[in-house]
């Protein structure tokens, strides 16, 4: 009967370890889901821009004097398009890593480990009970039959406490490191979107409308419902892309603020409300980003009718 | 911000606009049109180089923290695996107890115990 008091003692010792509150786990889980959704968008901004640049090159090809020059212009444009798609893919990488980090954060804060531990409980209890029965039948007959249940209870309580304590320790170690990296990545993204990319995108828009005016709108023989409709769609697409850029900046900033809030709450064991303001703001911001992206994809201009 | 590249981009795109206008408004022979078309393609190539270099620099800057992030993710995965080991250890103890019960039962049956 010696192991039982020892394990019970261990369980009592572990029971003093702190664990995350339910609301903290929920906040981390929502943060992970939102980061997962956000991760796709910065690269998409570059891809959508590449689509509109390609569109401008197709319109510009109409001005070429013969089929050889048209084909050359389109071939150049396609090569450029592929390069820009590759650049967009490489821009995805840090956000895919952030997504992985957020998902691991959710895993480390979840009750999955404890659930997995408890999934062994039934067979453990039955085996312990069986061993006690066998031993009692042959030997001392002095182990109480309920000892198996008590033993199992104590062991699983200790296991649960130990698991939760390890989870808390891991989160306290990793979240501050994650916070620094998230701060750096989101700041760089904001700077990029507010800097040269903003200038390039404004210039893209000017170039598209100059090309369209020079080659289509100034040529009465090229002006018809389709071409005017294409022009209207392009105006819309550039407006949406600009809104998408601004929303990306807002989402990156809210991502950093939401993680900062999680970091503070985990470090200080602060109780969190059901969902904190920062996590809600981050979720709402990424939701807006998704809606804008959807609008861009459904209203994109096309040269199909020309 | 790379002001020099952005200024050059503006000049190149303004020039493209001017050349396009000239091509539409002027009267040109086919050979002249081909020559203007070649100029436009060259200007677009210069534009591509400026824009793509700027975008690549941005991508490099964004990717600068990847090594740190990858390291953090690996540490988290290792920790997660270690925590899962508690459950695995319990499963192992459970099996050992089960086997011990079987052995004891058999030993009793053959009169060893």
Look at residue B113 in the predicted model and tell me its pLDDT: 61
- Contact assessment for residue A18 and residue A267, using Cβ atoms and an 8 Å cutoff: no
Instruction: Find the angle CA(B10)-CA(B13)-CA(B18) to the nearest 5 degrees.
Output: 125
3-state secondary structure of A278: helix
- What CA–CA distance (Å, rounded) separates B74 from B79? 9
Are the beta carbons of B77 and A110 closer than 8 angstroms?
Answer: no
- Whether this model's ipTM surpasses 0.85 comes out as no
> Who among B1, B63, B104 is closest to A134 (CB)?
B104
- Which of residues 78 through 97 in chain A touch B, CB cutoff 8 A? 80, 83-84, 87, 90-91, 93-94, 97
CA A295/CA A241 separation, integer angstroms: 10
Q: pLDDT higher for B2 or A64?
A: A64
pLDDT band at residue A154 using 50, 70 and 90 as cut-offs: confident
Asked if the model's pLDDT at residue B106 lies above 90, the reply is no
pLDDT in tens, A269-294: 766 667 788 999 999 999 999 999 99
Across B19-33, average pLDDT: 92
CB-based contact A174 B87, cutoff 8 Å: no
B4, B72, B89, B111: best mutation site toward chain A, by most A Cβ within 10 Å?
B72
Enclosing H/E stretch for A235: helix A225-268
Rounded Cα distance between A161 and A13, Å, is 9
Q: Is A223 on the interface with B (CB under 8 A)?
A: no
Q: Which of A66, A105, A174 sits opposite B75 (nearest CB)?
A: A174
Nearest neighbour of A138 by CB, restricted to B16, B56, B108 = B108
> B1, A195: Cβ pair inside 8 Å?
yes
Locate the chain B residue with the closest alpha carbon to A139.
Answer: B113
Closest Cα in chain B, distance from residue A75 (Å): 11
* Range B50-58 average pLDDT: 96
- With contacts defined as CB-CB under 8 Å, which chain A residues touch B79? 108, 166, 170, 174
**What pLDDT digit, counting tens, does each position of A58-94 carry?**
999 999 999 999 999 999 999 999 999 999 999 999 9
CA pseudo-torsion sign B12, B18, B21, B22: negative
pLDDT > 90: percent of chain B: 64
pLDDT surpasses 80 at A18: no
Contacts of B87 in chain A (CB under 8 A): 113, 116-117, 119-120, 159, 163
Cβ separation of A123 and B51 shorter than 8 Å?
A: no
> Is there a contact between A210 and B20 if contact means CB atoms under 8 Å apart?
yes
Give this prediction's pTM.
0.81
Chain B residues inside the 8 Å CB shell of A52: none
How confident is residue A50, by pLDDT bands cut at 50, 70 and 90?
A: very high
Buried b (16+ CB within 10 A) or exposed e, A74-107: bebbeebbebbeebbebbbbbbebbbbbbbbbbb
Mean confidence (pLDDT) of chain B: 88
| SS3 state at A15 | coil
Q: How far apart are CA A3 and CA A155, in angstroms?
A: 10
Q: What is the pLDDT of residue A1?
A: 37
What's the confidence (pLDDT) of residue A112? 77
CB contact under 8 A, B90 and A117: yes
Q: What is the mean pLDDT of residues A177-198?
A: 94
Q: Region B33-54: what's the mean pLDDT?
A: 96
Mean pLDDT for chain A?
Answer: 85
Closest residue, chain A, to B99 (C-alpha): A127
Q: What is the 3-state secondary structure (H, E, C) of B30-87?
A: HHHHHHHHHHHHHHHHHHHHHHHHHHHHHHHHHHCCHHHHHHHHHHHHHHHHHHHHHH
Rama region for A275: left / alpha / beta (φ>0; ψ in -120 to 50; rest)? beta
A138 touching chain B per CB within 8 A: yes
Question: Which token pair is A165?
Answer: 């304590």
pLDDT, mean of residues A168-179 = 90
Give the C-alpha separation, A185 to A228, whole Å: 41
Give DSSP secondary structure letters for A29-84.
Answer: HHHHHHHHHHTTHHHHHHHHHHHHHHHHHHHHHTT-SSHHHHHHHHHHHHHHHHHH
Q: How far apart are the first and last CA of chain A?
A: 88
- State CA A166 to chain mean position distance: 25
């Amino acid at each position: 009967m010696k192991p039982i008091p020892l394990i019970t003692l261990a369980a009592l010792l572990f029971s003093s370890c702190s664990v995350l509150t339910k609301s903290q786990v929920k906040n981390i889980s929502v943060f992970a889901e939102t980061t997962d959704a956000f991760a796709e968008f910065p690269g998409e901004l570059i891809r959508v821009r590449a689509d509109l640049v390609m569109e401008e090159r197709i319109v510009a090809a109409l001005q070429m004097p013969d089929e050889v020059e048209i084909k050359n212009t389109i071939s150049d444009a396609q090569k450029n398009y592929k390069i820009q798609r590759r650049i967009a893919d490489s821009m995805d990488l840090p956000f895919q890593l952030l997504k992985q980090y957020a998902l691991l954060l959710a895993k480390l804060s979840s009750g999955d480990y404890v659930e997995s531990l408890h999934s062994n409980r039934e067979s453990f209890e039955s085996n312990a009970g069986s061993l006690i029965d066998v031993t009692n039948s042959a030997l001392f007959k002095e182990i109480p039959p309920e000892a198996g249940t008590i033993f199992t209870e104590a062991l699983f309580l200790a296991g649960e406490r130990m698991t939760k304590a390890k989870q808390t320790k891991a989160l306290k170690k990793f979240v501050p490191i994650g916070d620094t990296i998230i701060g750096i990545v989101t700041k760089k993204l904001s700077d990029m979107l507010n800097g040269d990319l903003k200038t390039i995108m404004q210039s893209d828009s000017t170039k598209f409308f100059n090309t369209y005016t020079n080659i289509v709108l100034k040529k009465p023989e090229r002006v018809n419902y389709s071409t005017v409709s294409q022009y209207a769609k392009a105006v819309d697409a550039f407006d949406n892309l600009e809104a998408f850029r601004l929303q990306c900046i807002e989402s990156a900033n809210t991502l950093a603020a939401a993680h900062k809030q999680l970091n503070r709450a985990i470090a200080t064991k602060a109780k969190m409300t059901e969902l904190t303001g920062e996590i809600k703001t981050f979720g709402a911001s990424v939701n807006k980003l998704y809606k804008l992206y959807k609008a861009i994809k459904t209203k994109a201009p096309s040269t199909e009718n020309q | 911000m790379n002001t020099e590249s952005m200024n050059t981009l503006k000049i190149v795109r303004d020039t493209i606009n001017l050349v396009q206008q000239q091509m539409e408004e002027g009267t040109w022979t086919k050979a002249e049109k081909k020559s203007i078309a070649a100029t436009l393609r060259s200007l677009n190539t210069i534009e591509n180089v400026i824009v793509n270099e700027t975008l690549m620099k941005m991508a490099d800057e964004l990717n600068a923290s990847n090594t740190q992030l990858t390291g953090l993710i690996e540490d988290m995965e290792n920790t997660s695996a270690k925590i899962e080991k508690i459950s695995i250890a319990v499963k192992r103890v459970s099996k050992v107890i089960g086997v011990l019960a079987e052995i004891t039962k058999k030993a009793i049956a053959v009169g060893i115990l």
